[in-house]
Structure 1
Amino acid sequence: MNAGPHETGDGPPSGGIKGDPPFKDADTPEQSPGPASDPEESSDPDDDSGPPEPDDDSGPPEPATDPEKPPELDDIPRILLFMRPGRNRELLTAALSERYAVETTTDVETLESTFDCCVFDAHEFTRVAGTIQPRRALAAPVFLPFVLLVGDDTAPMRDHAWEHVDDIVELPVRKRALRSRIANLVERRRTSLRLAERERRLTETVADLRLKERAMDEAPVGITVAESGEGENPLVYTNHGFETLTGYGSEMFGADCRFLQGTETDPDTRAEIRAALDEEQPISTDILNYRRNGQTFWNRLTIAPLRDEHDEVTHYVGFQTDITDRKIRERRLEVMGRVLNHNLRNKMNLIDGYAELLRSTVDDEASQEPLDIISETADDLMRIAETVRKIDHALAETPSADSATDLTERLPELVSRMSDRYPDATFSLSLPDASLDVTVVGLVTAIEEAVENAVKHNDRTEPTVAVRVERRGPEWIAIEIEDDGPGIPDHEVHVLGHGETNLTHADRLGIWLMYWVVNKAGGEFSVSADDGGTTIGLSVPIDP
C-alpha cells in the first residue's frame, strides 16, 4: 500500500523529497518522535477488509451546544490535508474523517481559510513553508497547529521544519497514534479558542465596567455606594460629584452617610430614611444636609437597594442633588400664594366694603361711576387671587390610582353647575359610553376653567359651549371645549410656547392653568381660534 515517489506524475524538486512512505503495518515497530507522540496500538490501515474501525463507540463528535463557547466550537473540527493526491492522502482522509471534517488541497490560498489543524506532506511543506508563520500571526493569539509527515529520507529537513510546525510525524505510523497526536493538537487549538473567547468577553466586561465607572465618576450628581448593615451602612464608593457637592471624598469610606446630617435636619425625615433601609426598600426624599464647611443645602436624596443573585441586599446606591434654589423658590411661591390668597383678598374685601359705604352717601351719577370702577377692579383682583389659589391647588396634588376620577360622572355634574350659573348659555356634552377613569391631576379643574372662560369671554347674549370627550387608543383621551365667542387673541396663545415679557403676556391666568395641567401629565395642549369661536384641545394619557 506504499505510494510511489512519482504518484502525481511530477518528479521531486532537486534535493527535495522523493516520496512519502505509507502508514505502518501492524507488525512493524512504531517510530513516533515529536512532542505529541502516543505509543497507543491500533489496527492496520492497509487492511482491505473495510475502513478502519473507530477507536471507541462514540462515533463522530456532536457539535458543541454550550452557549458560552465561541461560534467556532459549535462545529466539528476541520482538518486541512495539504498533500499531493495519492494513496497516502486517501488513507489519511479515511483515518481522520471518522472524527473530523477533512478537506484536501494543494492551493496555498486555502491556508487563509478557517481550520483547526493543517497536515503537510514533505513535498507541499517545502513549497509553502514560508506562508506558515504569516498564517499563525493572522490567527494570533489563538493557537493554530501545523503537522508535517516525513519519511526516513527526509531526516535532514527536520530541524528546519520544527521552526514552522508543531509536530513531525514519521511515516509509517499507526492510525491510532496518528489520530491521537492530531487530537492533542486540535484540543490545544480548541482550548486556545475558549481562552481567547473568555479573554475577549473579559476585556469587554472590563471596558463596560470602566465606562460605567467613568459615567458615575463624571455624573453631575452625587453618587454613593454603601454596604448593607444593621444600623450602619459604611460607604465604599463616592464619585466626584459627591465630593463637589459635600466637600467629602474617599476619606469617609467606612463611615455612615449620616455625617451629612446636622442639628437642623428634620428628625422625621431621618426616621423615614432609616425605616426604608431597615425594610430594604427604595426611598426618595428632600433632606437638609451639611457640607464639610458647615454650609447647609437642600438635598434631593434617592436611595435604592442593590441585590445579588440570591436576592439578598448587599449594598445601597444613593443619588444626591442640590435643590436649594428650588426649595427657596418653592418657599417664595408659598409666601406669595399666601399673600394673594389671604392678604390681598382681605384688602380687596375692605376696599369693596368702603366703596359700598361711599355709594350710599352720594346720589349723583357722576360720583357713582368712580365707585363702580373701584368695585369692578376689586372684583377682578379677587378673581385673579382665586385663580392663583385654584392653580396652586390643582397642581399640588400627586396622581395615584386611588385618586382616579370617572369623567363620565364628574363632567355631567360640572355642566349642570355651569347651566345653573349661566342660565342664558347653552351647554352640550358628548362622552364615551363606558366609564372613563383618569388620574391626571387637576384635569376636571382645567376643563371647568375652559368651559367658564368660554362663557365669560363670549359677547353673545346666548353663548353656546360644546364639550366632547373621546378615547384615543387604550391609554389616551382627547377633550375639546368649543365655543362661538370672538376667539382668544393670538398673543395669549403665543406666550405659552415662548414665555412672557413685560410687553407680551397673557391677560388670563386660566389659559396657563389649562396648559400646566396638560403639560404636567405629559399631554398636548392646543388652541384654534377664528371669528367663529375657539376650540381648546386637551390630549392626555389616562394614567400618566
Structure 2
Amino acid sequence: MGSDSGVSTDPSDTAKEPEPDGSTDLDESSEPDRTSRSRDTAFNAVTGDSNLSEPDDTPRVLLLMRPGRDRDLVADALGERYRIDTATEPAALGREFDCCVLDGAGFDRVGDAIATRRSAVDPIFVPFVLLVSERSGTVPTGAWDHVDDVIELPVRRRALVTRIGNLVQRRTTSRRLSETVETLHVKERAMDEAPVGITLTTAQPESNPLVYCNDGFEKLTGYGPEMLGKDCRFLQGEDTAVETQATLREAIDAERPVAVDILNYRANGQKFWNRLSVAPIRDESGSVTHYVGFQSDITDRKIRERRLEVMGRVLNHNLRNKMNLIEGYADLLRTDIDDESQRESLDIISETSADLMGIARAVQKIDETLADTDKAPVDLRERLIELRNRIHSRYPDASVELSLPDDDPITVTVVGLFTAIEEGAENAVKHNDSSSPWVEVRVERLRSGWIRVEIEDDGPGIPDHETRVLEQGETSLTHADRLGIWLMYWVVNKAGGGFTVHTDETGTLLRLDVPTRP
C-alpha cells in the first residue's frame, strides 16, 4: 500500500472549513509533532512503558499494518482518542484490543484467524476494519465475511475517527449488554436455587397472575410452572383465616409491602404455615408492574409458639391457682398443729409454694417483655429516678445510687431495656443479706448511637452455674434458677447488643451495651 494511495496528506486541508459532515482531511504536515506522539503512543502500548499517561480503560486499537507512512498517519489520527498497538503477525490477534485495523497485507495474513478471535470472545462484539487503497479499487474476495467495515484510502481524518469510534462504541455497548445479561443470569440462578420460595406476579386490578416461580416454591408447595397465569390464591383453603386474606388484599390494593403468617395448602392437600412476604416492584415512572413474593415453611415454629402459649397459660394460671390452694390449706393446718417439727414442714411447703409462684410471675414477665413490639421512645433518666425512689420505699435501708450523663434524657427505643435494668437493680437489693444493701446504676454514652448500662452491687455474688449457662446453654445438669438474668440477656441480645456478668466475693457487675435505636 503506497503512500500515494494512502491517507490524504494535502497541507492545504488545514485551512479548509469543516465539511458539512464535520470532517477534515487527515493532514501530516499541519501538526508536525502529532506523528511522533502517535509513534510514541504505539511503542509504549506495545512495550508497557510505565510513563504512559492514558488510563487503563482507554480503548485499544490494534493496527495490523505494514510499517510505513500509512500506518503512522492512521496512528496519528487515532492516537489522541485510543491507545495504539501495532503488529504485523497473526499472533497479535491474541492481544487485548477494542478494534483491529488491517491493511491488505495484514488481511491476507490473518483473514482466517479473525473468525477464531470472534468465537473466543463471543458474545461480545469485536470489530475489524479493512483499509483498501483507491488505486486497487477492489475489496478482497470474502472480506465482508470477516470485517465490519471497509474504508477506502485516502480518507479524511474526522471520517476515519468517526467510523472507528462507531465500531468501538458498538463493542462497548456489546460488552455492557453481555455483563448485564450475565448479571441477570446470576440473579436468575440465585432465585432458582434459593432455599425459599420466590414468586413473581403481574399487577392487575382483580388478580395477580403468576409469571415466575422458583424451585424452592415448587418444593414447598408442590405446585410448579403449570400454575403460571393463575393467582396465588390457589394456595388458600378452607381454614385460611379470612382476616389474613383481607390483610394481604388491602396491602396489595394500597401497593405497599406486607408480611403475614398464613395457613396454606400444598398441592396434595397438606396444610402448612407459610411466612409470606410480598413487595411491589415499580418501573421508572413509579408505577407498580409486578409483585415479588417470598415463602418459607414456618409450621414447626407455629406449633412451638402454640405449645409455649398453652404451657405459659398453664404455668401462669393453673399453677398459680393450685399454689394458692396449697398455701391456703397449709395456713389452716398451721393453726391446728402444736408440734414444732410439723410447723417447720408446713413452713417449707409455704416457702416452696411462694417460690413456684415467683417463677410463674417471672415467666410471665419475660413473656410480656419480649413479646412487646412497641418501640416508643423512653426517657431513661426519668424512669431510673422513679426506680431509685421505688426501691428506697420498699427497702428503706438500701442505698441506691445513680450515675447519669449530665443534661441528657438518655432517650432509647430498646424494647424491654428499662425492665431489664429494673430486674437487675431490684434483685441486687432483694438477694443481698446485708443490713444495708448497696447498688449503683451507671449509664454512659459510648460511640455514636450506643449506651452502656452498668449495675453494680456488694451482694454475695451470682453462683457460677447461673452465669455459665448464658454461654454454654441450659442442660439437665447446669441450669439457671434465676430467670431474671435470662430476661436481661434476652433483652440485650434482641437489641443486638452485648451482655456480660462479672461476679466475685465482693459483689456483681452487670454490663449492658445496646444501641439506643436498634
Range class of TM-score, shorter chain: 0.7 to 0.9
Write out aligned runs for 1:85-104 (5 A).
Answer: 89=69, 101=80
Distance 1:185 1:234 in 2: 53
More displaced stretch, 455-464 vs 411-420: 455-464
Contact 1:415 1:427 in 2 (8 A): yes
Identity of aligned residues (%): 52
Q: Name the counterpart of 1:143.
A: 127
Counterpart check, 1:412 vs 2:377:
no
- The alignment of Structure 1 onto Structure 2 pairs a total of residues equal to 475
Secondary structure, aligned partner of 1:494: helix
Whether 1:56 aligns to 2:19 is yes
Corresponding residue number in structure 2 for 1:11 = none
Tell me the SS of whatever aligns to 2:211: strand
The equivalences for 1:264-413 within 5 A come to 264-400=239-375, 403-413=376-386
Structure 1 residue 118: deviation in Å?
Answer: 5.6
Aligned to 1:447: 421
Return closer, same or farther for 1:159/1:365 CA change in 2, 3 Å cut-off.
closer
Deviations along 1:177-216, one digit per CA (max 9) or x if unpaired, are 7124x76665554333222222222222222112111111
Provide the secondary structure at the position in 2 that maps to 1:311: coil
Q: Distance in 2 between matches of 1:467 and 1:430?
A: 6
One-letter code aligned to 1:419? H
Q: Residue 471 of structure 1 corresponds to which residue in structure 2?
A: 445
Amino acid aligned to 1:317 = V
Whole-angstrom distance in 1 between the partners of 2:230 and 2:383: 54
Matched residue SS, 2:441: strand
Cα separation, 2, equivalents of 1:198 and 1:114: 15
Q: Match of 1:490?
A: 464
**447 and 158 in structure 1: CA distance in 2 versus 1, 3 angstrom threshold:** closer
Relative distance call for 1:199 and 1:108 in structure 2 (3 A) is closer
Stretches of structure 2 lacking an aligned partner (at least 5 in a row): 26-55
Sort the Cα spacing of 1:358 and 1:168 in 2 relative to 1 into closer, same or farther, 3 A.
Answer: closer
3-state SS, counterpart of residue 349 of structure 2:
helix
Match of residue 196 from structure 2: 221
**1:337-395 Cα distance to aligned partner (Å, 9 max, x none):** 11111111111111111111111112232221111111111111111011001001101
Give 1:178's match in structure 2, choosing from 133, 136, 154: 154
CA distance in 1, matches of 2:421, 2:99: 74
Q: Distance in 2 between matches of 1:160 and 1:334?
A: 85
CA distances 1:285-323 after superposition (whole Å, capped 9, x unpaired): 111111122221111111100101110001111111111
Contact 2:100 2:129 in 1 (8 A): yes
Counterpart amino acid of residue 367 in structure 1:
Q
Q: Using the TM superposition, give the Cα deviation of residue 332 of structure 1 relative to its aligned residue in structure 2, in angstroms.
A: 0.8
- Residue in 1 that maps onto 2:40: none
What letter corresponds to residue 19 of structure 2 in structure 1?
D
Q: Would the alpha carbon gap of residues 214 and 129 (structure 1) be closer, same or farther in structure 2, given more than 3 Å must change?
A: closer
Q: Which amino acid aligns with 2:400?
A: F
Partner SS for 1:271: helix
Query: Distance between the aligned counterparts of 1:439 and 1:519, measured in 2?
Result: 14
Structure with higher Rg: it is 1
Distance 1:105 1:237 in 2: 48
* Contact 1:480–1:536, Cα closer than 8 Å, also in 2: yes
- Change beyond 3 A, Cα 1:136–1:46: farther
1:499 maps to amino acid: G
Closer, same or farther: CA 465–115 of 1 in aligned 2, 3 Å: closer
Deviates more, 1:190-199 or 1:100-109: 100-109
Work out the CA distance in 2 between the residues paired with 1:60 and 1:472.
68
Q: Is the 8 A contact 2:63 2:87 kept in 1?
A: no
Q: Is the 8 A contact 2:274 2:298 kept in 1?
A: yes
- 1:147, CA displacement in angstroms? 3.4
Q: Residue 428 and residue 262 in structure 1: after superposition, are their counterparts in 2 closer, same or farther (change >3 A)?
A: same
Indicate yes or no: 2:194 matched with 1:210.
no
CA-to-aligned-CA distance 1:387-420 (integer Å, 9 cap, x gap): 00100110111043xx221101111111111111
How far the C-alpha of 1:447 sits from its partner, in A, is 0.8
TM-score, length-normalised on structure 2? 0.80
Partners in 2 of 1:427 and 1:445 — Cα distance? 17
**TM-score (ref. length: structure 1):** 0.76
CA distance in 2, matches of 1:330, 1:230: 36
Q: 1:193 to 1:385 in 2, by over 3 A?
A: same
2:192–2:214 CA contact under 8 A, matched in 1: yes
Residue 482 of structure 1 and its aligned partner are, at CA, apart by 0.2
The answer as to 2:491 corresponding to 1:517 is: yes
Contact kept in structure 1, 2:63 and 2:85, CA below 8 Å? no
Residue 534 of structure 1 pairs with residue 508 of structure 2: yes
Task: Give the counterpart letter for 2:495 in structure 1.
Answer: A
Q: What is the DSSP-based 3-state SS (H/G/I as helix, E as strand, rest coil) of the residue aligned with 2:128?
A: coil
